[in-house]
Amino acid sequence: MPSTAIARFAYRPALRALDVQFVGGRVYRYFDMPEAVAQALARSGSKGGYFNRTIRDRFRFERLPRWDDPESDA
């Protein structure tokens, strides 16, 4: 089921970071993200709900100017 809040996201293991693009277009990177948290987000039936309960206000973040292809980190 598509999320009404999150357009897409990608975990970047080399950075231990989670990039999230919201449906409004803004992109944020969340730092020191455990891979298990990112995997649980991927499995969640409500991405926005999981994000709000588990990630929002709990991890340091920065706004990114645009979405970058996660494959470019390889």
Q: Where in the chain are the domains?
A: 6-65
Give percent of the chain with pLDDT exceeding 90.
82
Express each pLDDT in 28-62 by its tens digit: 999 999 999 999 999 999 999 999 999 999 999 99
Give the 3-state DSSP-derived string for 10-71, with helices as H, strands as E and coil as C: EEECCCCEEEEEECCCCEEEECCCCHHHHHHHHHCCCHHHHHHHHHCCCCCEEEECCCCCHH
Asked if 30 contacts 59 with a C-beta cutoff of 8 angstroms, the reply is yes
